[in-house]
Structure 1
Amino acid sequence: MEAASAKRRPAASAKRKPAARLTDELLVEILRRLPVRSVCRFKCVSRSWRNLISNPAHRKKLPQTLAGFFYRSWNWERFPRSARHFTNITGKGRPFIVPSFSFLPVPSDNVTLLDSCNGLLLCRCFGAGDASPPFHYVVCNPATKKWVMLPDGSGEDRTACLGFDPAVSSHFHVVEYVDDERSAFLNGFMHMLTSDEDNGNHVVVMVDMEGKTWRTIPVPTNIDNADASKLSIWILKDHAAHEWTPKHSVRIQFLFPEKDIEINMNWTLITFHPECNLIYFVYGWDDTLIAYEMDRKEVRVIRKLGNECSGPYLPYVPLFTEALADG
């Protein structure tokens, strides 16, 4: 009886843990079809799952999340005066990406980063060939070192934004503006924050990538004009009805380690984390990178980038897909 019972135990264990019977290849095929937030949570299942998901060979198949930020610095006493940098989201360790961009067809000093979207970067490249215009737009994937040079643009130093959704298509879109303040690509639309010429109030302008559908959405104003020292976060739940819903608010002084910080002190909102309720800022003369977690109302200092640094601070999510289609 004891021997028979011992033989049945492995079968019972396999029933309790059916995933243990799957090969790594099958597990990766299952995980690649899940949202990136779920994949990140599954790292906590066990040590073997953490190693499986973190394996460099598997990262090319699994969805990725925010890895860090590109930024630049200026120093008039060195040559070249401008330099590019990348900091990991943790602020520690070797940079996930080396921002030399030596794979592009122009010298590294002639590359200016303009925008990022879902793993691709939009660059302005100067001196890309003999008798070339002042610059070319180049879209590249730093993870695979693939790049595409766009046809000649206007040649003017305008604002250019990148739109790309790998879940929909391998094609990307570059939109050039005469003027705008901030932009974001979401659900096939480029969203731009700009000012209404009639009243000077801020509005969000939406345009599809064919240029056929344009919409203007009013931006909610500060409901408490007596307390302008709050950062308010709103969600646009109904585009048709222009319905904004308040999600979170926090006093500016709470976000920064120096509690006596002046309200007008230099600080910049970089981005929201794509999978978590996290906001990233840089502030102060030494451009300290910080994260604010809305759910726990906690502030975490990541690292000091240095007083020579400047924007744009571009969030980067790795994309290991080899294909890079023309926009």
Structure 2
Amino acid sequence: MAPGSQKKEKGVEEVDPTARLTDDILVDIISRVPYKSTCCCKCVSPRWRDLISHRDHREKMPQSILGFFYQGYNKFRFPKKARYFTNLSRQRYPLVDPSLSFLPNHHSHSLDILDGCNGLLLCRCWKATDPKTLDYVVCNPDTEEWLVVPATESSSKVSVARLGFDPAVSSHFHVFEFIDEEAWGIDEDERNDYCFGRIETLAIYSSKDGAWKYQTVECDPFVLPRNSVSAFLNGILHLADFHNFIVAVDVEGDNWWYIGIPKLPYNDADINDVFPSQGQLYFANSTTGSELSVWVLEDYVTRKWTLKHSVSLLQLFGTEYYSYADDYRVISIHPEHNLIFIVAGDKKILMSYDMDSMQLCFIRQLGSDCGVKLLGYGDNTPFYPHVPLFSLSLADGH
């Protein structure tokens, strides 16, 4: 016998102990492990991979980002506005129907997606009977459940409304309506010339109470871009304003934070990039300077940021794609991994960048329609990451 070799007993074969388990039992076992472990389980065998990926089992499995909702505009097409969903997987057809056809007023010209948060979407639906009035709708595109949120007297004039929802805490959600001076009805000659368009009042809707609550803004004057990305984390909503600050407020409207962005080696930063990831608030500068840097907020009291990662744009895109350095934007950060999602170039190429391996991966071409300048957004089309939500039903407390 050769050194180091082992003799198998006669008649004994190596058998996979899980082979005797039925598919239902195996799916139930895998569904009880964390998401990262579920990803590793896909590598065990073709059977495990297929079970985890099967559409019928997605409800039981821990979920991560499935893809992105976004809206496009093309003046040569009818309807001019369109909603899209792009998969992060290699599957050709959208895993979620972006038309939201289960909603009663789902047509492109009468419905806008305003925000997405942990599996739910906040939509603005203009009424067919009176195109100047609206309702908000919060829906789950996976279960096709939806609830109407009644509009306030200011809703038709409000540019920034956002959603707060954490299924780990409650099945209830909050809608935040940031009401500026004009929408609040302040006369033009009485408005703040120094901070034109400042937010005057915050209205918060609680699905548990079934009512709106109004709060006076308790921090320094601020102005929000209509396409400002929101980040909901630990019961706090965060948005970047026009003046290099991040505004944060809790779901009751009682506590406010006004947090300066990290000091960068240049001034004109595009600050519309705050994201929740791995239980912390992240800031990513983009479109300005010679590098991409990612920061983590360590403390709300001291406003301390820690640099997590930086990479030169030449190293990020390489010489072949360095032209993207003049036209790119961070649109999201993975909630569980050190993975950044970027859209770049005239054709809006969706790509991911792994901060650990420093590898850039091309996902797919989205097309120039998602640059909706004619709608007043500039090129900062909002992208809403979608994490499937099957475990909870929408809770309506009234």
Superposition map of 1:104-123 within 5 A: 104-109=103-108, 110-123=110-123
SS of residue in 2 equivalent to 1:87: strand
Query: Which residue type is aligned with residue 307 of structure 1?
Result: S
Match of 1:261 among 310, 313, 323: 323
Query: Which residue type is aligned with residue 242 of structure 1?
Result: R
Gaps of 5+ in 1: none
Aligned to 1:313: 383
Cα offset, 1:72, TM superposition: 2.2
Aligned to 1:163: 164
Aligned to 2:36: 37
Match of 1:191 among 207, 226, 238: 238
Cα offset, 1:168, TM superposition: 1.2
Query: Which residue type is aligned with residue 54 of structure 1?
Result: S
CA contact (8 A) 1:42 1:50 kept: yes
Superposition map of 1:17-36 within 5 A: 19=18, 22-36=21-35
SS of residue in 1 equivalent to 2:382: strand
Encode CA deviations 1:133-162: one digit per residue, 9 max, x unaligned.
621111111111111110122222321111
Encode CA deviations 1:95-142: one digit per residue, 9 max, x unaligned.
1112111111114121111111111111111116x4586211111111
Distance in 2 separating the partners of 1:280 and 1:125? 29
Match of 2:246 among 196, 204, 213: 204
TM-score, length basis structure 2 = 0.70
Superposition map of 1:1-327 within 5 A: 19=18, 22-90=21-89, 92-109=91-108, 110-127=110-127, 130=129, 134-153=133-152, 154-155=154-155, 156-178=157-179, 179-180=223-224, 181-194=228-241, 200=243, 202-223=244-265, 228-256=289-317, 258-261=320-323, 265-310=326-371, 311-321=381-391, 323-326=393-396
Encode CA deviations 1:278-327: one digit per residue, 9 max, x unaligned.
11111121111111111111111212211222322211111123511238
Encode CA deviations 1:253-291: one digit per residue, 9 max, x unaligned.
33336444275x332211011222111111121111111
SS of residue in 2 equivalent to 1:308: helix
Q: Relative contact order, CA 8 A, sep 6+: which one is greater?
A: 1
Distance in 2 separating the partners of 1:207 and 1:107? 31
Query: Which residue type is aligned with residue 258 of structure 2?
Result: T
Query: Which residue type is aligned with residue 231 of structure 2?
Result: A
Count residues in correspondence.
Answer: 310
Encode CA deviations 1:210-236: one digit per residue, 9 max, x unaligned.
1122223332111588x9311111112
Gaps of 5+ in 2: 1-8, 180-222, 268-287, 372-380
Query: Which residue type is aligned with residue 316 of structure 1?
Result: H
Query: Which residue type is aligned with residue 79 of structure 2?
Result: P
CA separation of 1:73/1:132 partners in 2, compared to 1, >3 Å: closer, same or farther? closer
Cα offset, 1:6, TM superposition: 7.2
When the two chains are superposed, the root-mean-square deviation of aligned CA atoms in Å is 2.7
Distance in 2 separating the partners of 1:44 and 1:281? 27
CA contact (8 A) 1:36 1:64 kept: yes
Query: Which residue type is aligned with residue 255 of structure 2?
Result: T
Cα offset, 1:19, TM superposition: 4.9
CA contact (8 A) 1:146 1:322 kept: no
CA separation of 1:165/1:18 partners in 2, compared to 1, >3 Å: closer, same or farther? farther
CA contact (8 A) 1:74 1:309 kept: yes
SS of residue in 2 equivalent to 1:123: strand
CA separation of 1:222/1:31 partners in 2, compared to 1, >3 Å: closer, same or farther? same
Query: Which residue type is aligned with residue 219 of structure 1?
Result: I
Cα offset, 1:23, TM superposition: 4.6
CA contact (8 A) 1:253 1:261 kept: no
Distance in 1 separating the partners of 2:330 and 2:264? 17
Query: Which residue type is aligned with residue 62 of structure 1?
Result: M
Distance in 2 separating the partners of 1:240 and 1:62? 37
Cα offset, 1:20, TM superposition: 5.2
CA contact (8 A) 1:72 1:83 kept: yes
Query: Which residue type is aligned with residue 230 of structure 1?
Result: E
* Identical aligned residues as a percent: 46
CA separation of 1:217/1:97 partners in 2, compared to 1, >3 Å: closer, same or farther? same
Query: Which residue type is aligned with residue 191 of structure 1?
Result: H
